[in-house]
Chain A
């Protein structure tokens, strides 16, 4: 469960202060598929970065599964990301020198998983996202949709309690986007995977349990969607 309270994030750009988040409070229960929407510059990505422990808020608190994550040292935050969170970036963020399979098994390798196990698990998850025949291909040999599937497989391989996705369909055509969202919905329904996803596409709402709409760094609206939280 994620509990974020009164989050603010102020960036200083020269002499100008930009308030990306102006006091956002949010709870995400286990098994929810929450969409964070809003116009460009509304603070969606900033919120996700803070929830994903990639950034620190100027003020406020974040508790994930009972852990005050803002109080953790950098090293502990890294471990938390490794063990508890899965993060899908808008632009895939794969390691270009590695094959699809290597990208996926990198984090189990860090966790000290035995070789047989991480190979089997990584191959299995790649098969589940429809890339069973593309495992040995590098990023440059994969389409945008395939790269995003690899990124999703990488985010899921350690069975994270929360999957965070920052506009994962932004660079994809509508058909590929739909297949990615179908995959998320399946993960949410079948595995009870908690997912927080940033999007600005209206038609994505049908996949979300709940939509949190941001405007100027504040929550403008919370809407129950697909199946209700």
Chain B
């Protein structure tokens, strides 16, 4: 058994060592490119998910959202609830928001979108919008006539925003009019413009909660409270914790709030990925099969001679399988290096998606899965042609 493997390894190594370098290099390159293809798409899909989740947490929803109970429009007793939430270990910030659908008007142009009333200091403890000001400044606690608006809503002079709400050229210092749903209208000076590249956020605007409460006649009320946790990814645990503290309002994780959008997107991406993976693996099977088939056909006589001098056909088959394993291992290694290069490039120059820049997120499991599937198909594709030739009658093989 052991000597059989030793002979297979010996024959495989001599064949690699003294066979055609060009064919060897080309085969390895093809395997490497297939490997890159197997890893690249999942890494982009994973990157899209990471981007979406990061954008949701950092700019849109925080980790969790507390909303009014069913049938209520606002959360009452916001200050008290906020204090209770902030007592829970692991919760690092809360930001009450009042939300209203309003119409923004500027120089005869109007756009309908969402206006949020926030407490700037609280908002800074949850979202990072204040860090993404492209012009002007974020709100301060005492602001009453100031507004900060998203870059998409501010727009660019003469450019439509492709169906998104846009005032087409609002700048810092300009005044815009806001028509509230209760019929009241206010004029605010644009204090700052932010750009998060999350289109749901960049089409919104913010005033202080004090100002908005005054307009809407609210007292210690909010449409929602965003909650920031110390650690991402444990939202379900924190939700349970919050509910165990006797919070009566509805509590949602950011994933629940996104209404399955991410799950649907992942499902769609997974279908694309499965097709791409299947095609890649078929290419791998075909390439390895052809290479080994040509190799074995060219060495048909040699295989016959080996059998004639007393070498078992399984040893001969194994020698081809070992060659394939070696080629696949080197191909996968080259693929890992190539993939690292592609990832480094796309980290420096990320793909831009509507939700923001997407960085490839190469998971170890994806690499291991790709290596395993590549090895599996290669072994099969190498075994079959070797087996077909090796089982041939000795004299027929020797005569070629």
Is B234 engaged at the interface, CB distance under 8 Å to the other chain? no
**Cβ-closest chain B residue relative to A113:** B3
Task: List CB contacts (< 8 Å) of B17-74 with chain A.
Answer: 17-19
| Whole-angstrom CA separation of A125 from B212 in the bound complex | 101
Asked if B309 contacts A154 (CB within 8 A), the reply is yes
Known: A95-B302, A97-B14, A97-B15. A110 touches B310 (CB 8 A): yes
**Chain A to chain B contacts (Cβ below 8 Å), 23 pairs:** A54-B395, A55-B395, A75-B312, A78-B310, A78-B311, A78-B312, A79-B310, A80-B310, A81-B309, A82-B309, A82-B310, A82-B311, A87-B309, A95-B305, A97-B17, A106-B7, A106-B10, A107-B309, A109-B10, A110-B3, A110-B315, A111-B3, A112-B2
Q: Which residues of B contact A81 (CB under 8 A)?
A: 308-310
Shortest beta-carbon distance, B8 to chain A, in Å?
Answer: 10
Q: Are B19 and A97 in contact (CB under 8 A)?
A: yes
Known: A93-B308, A110-B7. A78 touches B302 (CB 8 A): no
Decide if A49 is an interface residue (CB 8 Å cutoff). yes
Q: Which 8 A-B pairs have the closest CB atoms?
A: A82-B310, A112-B3, A81-B310, A97-B18, A93-B305, A54-B394, A97-B14, A110-B7
Q: Is B4 an interface residue (CB 8 A)?
A: yes
B228 beta carbon closer than 8 Å to chain A: no
Cβ contacts under 8 Å, B315 to chain A: 110
Chain A residues, CB < 8 A from B302: 95-96
Chain B min CB distance to A144 (Å): 17
* Interface residues of A, count at CB 8 A: 31
Asked if B100 lies at the interface with its beta carbon under 8 angstroms from chain A, I say no
B3 CB, nearest partner CB in chain A, Å: 4
A98 at the interface (CB under 8 A from B): yes
Given contacts A89-B398, A109-B3, 15 further A-B contacts (CB under 8 A): A52-B308, A55-B395, A79-B310, A80-B310, A81-B310, A95-B302, A96-B302, A97-B18, A97-B19, A102-B14, A107-B309, A110-B7, A110-B311, A110-B312, A112-B2
A6 on interface, CB distance cutoff 8 Å: no
Complex interface residues of chain A between 151 and 205 (CB less than 8 A to chain B): 154-155
Taking CB atoms and an 8 Å cut-off, the chain A residues in 30-88 that contact chain B are: 49, 52, 54-55, 74-75, 78-83, 85, 87
B301 nearest CB neighbor, chain A only:
A93
Taken residue by residue from 285 to 320, chain B's Cβ proximity to chain A (1 for < 8 Å, 0 otherwise) reads as: 000000000000000011001111111110100000
B369 CB contacts on chain A under 8 angstroms:
none
In A122-173, the 8 Å CB interface with B consists of 138, 154-155
B4, B14, B310, B315 — which one has the most chain A CB atoms within 10 A of its CB?
B310
Q: Which residues of A contact B10 (CB under 8 A)?
A: 106, 109
Least distance between B400 CB and chain A CB atoms (Å): 11
Chain B: CB-nearest residue to A46 = B395
User: Given the complex, which residues of B lie within 8 Å of A102, measured CB to CB?
Assistant: 14
Contact status B308-A107, CB under 8 Å:
no
Give chain B nearest CB distance to A201 CB in angstroms. 23
The distance in angstroms between the C-alpha atoms of A55 and B398, with both chains bound, is: 12
**Inter-subunit contact A106/B19 (CB<8 Å):** no
B375 to nearest A CB, angstroms? Answer: 25
B6: Cβ under 8 A from any A Cβ: yes
Q: Bound complex: CA of A96 vs CA of B398, how far in Å?
A: 14
B221 to chain A, nearest CB (A): 84
Q: How far is the CB of A12 from chain B (nearest CB, A)?
A: 14
A106 to chain B, nearest CB (A): 7
**Is there contact, CB below 8 Å, between B310 and A107?**
yes
Query: Measured between alpha carbons, how far is A87 from B30 in the docked complex, in Å?
Result: 41
B4 touches A110 (CB 8 A): yes
| Cross-chain contact A107 with B311 (CB below 8 angstroms) | yes
Q: Pick from B14, B19, B307, B311: contact of A98, CB below 8 A.
A: B14
Cα distance A12–B366 in the bound complex, in angstroms: 56
What B residues does A83 contact at CB under 8 A? 310
- How distant is A160 from chain B, measured CB to nearest CB, in Å? 10
| Residue numbers in A under 8 Å from B14 (CB-CB) | 97-98, 102
Residue of A nearest to B311 (CB): A110
**Which B residues touch A74, using CB under 8 A?**
313
Return B392 CB to nearest CB of chain A, in Å.
12
